[in-house]
Amino acid sequence: MTSTPPSLLVVDDEEPVLTLIERVGQNGGFDVMTCTSGSDALRMLARKPADLAMVDLCMPDVSGLDLLRDIRRAVPGCELILMTGYAGIETAVEAMKRGAREYLTKPFDFDRLRKVLADIHREILLRAQVVALDGAMPPPLLRDVERGHIVDMLRRVNGNRMAAAKLLGISRRALYRRLDRHHITEVS
């Protein structure tokens, strides 16, 4: 698990919306950053990539749909949510095409907002655990891979060393040297 909480970037030109989502996000375990314009959001992401970005559709300097695309380019792993007070099927479809995983309408349904944030928070933490576990496992050593391959071939031919050498494409003498090096005496 990460030592720092997942980060949430909220981009909206309305201060009350920023304050509201900041509070809900902090209560949901996020480290929340807020900004009022698309250009500020991209500058902020350049300094500190976010795990989740919530973007308003209509802002003075940029379309929320364009900002989704720009955020996806800047931080490919960032989850995206589009927020709007102007709900429409075409906009929702376009948001999904540009990488949004959710489409929230204003005024917010607070239960849905909390659930969406909780689900994404949980997924981000699980992804971080998988990455940490994956990094903790050492890659297999070549000798272990070779040993496993030899044992597999011997099992395939019921311990017949001549047939195993043929399958491995090596001489019987080379097989015996490898068996000795890997301390393989019998295969069951």
Q: What is the structure's pLDDT at 128? A: 86
Supply angle C-alpha 34, 40, 46, rounded to 5.
95
Tokens linked to 126: 């699980």
Task: Summarize pLDDT for 51-107 with one digit per residue, the tens.
Answer: 999 999 999 889 999 999 999 999 998 999 999 988 788 888 889 888 899 999 999
For residue range 135-156, list pLDDT tens digits in order. 666 666 777 788 888 998 899 9
State residue 80 phi and psi, 5-degree precision: -130, 140
Give the pLDDT of residue 144. Answer: 78
The per-residue pLDDT for 45 is 94
pLDDT at 140: 66
Helix (H, G, I), strand (E, B) or coil at 188: coil
Structure confidence by residue, pLDDT tens digits, 10-67? 999 999 999 999 999 999 999 999 999 999 999 999 999 999 999 999 998 899 999 9
**Contact (Cβ atoms closer than 8 angstroms) between residue 172 and residue 135:** no
User: So what's the pLDDT on residue 11?
Assistant: 97
Q: What angle do CA 98, 2, 9 make, to 5 degrees?
A: 35
CATH architecture of 7-136: 3-Layer(aba) Sandwich (3.40)
Q: Where are the domains of the chain?
A: 7-136, 142-181
Give the model's pLDDT for residue 1: 40
- The CATH fold assigned to 142-181 is Arc Repressor Mutant, subunit A (1.10.10)
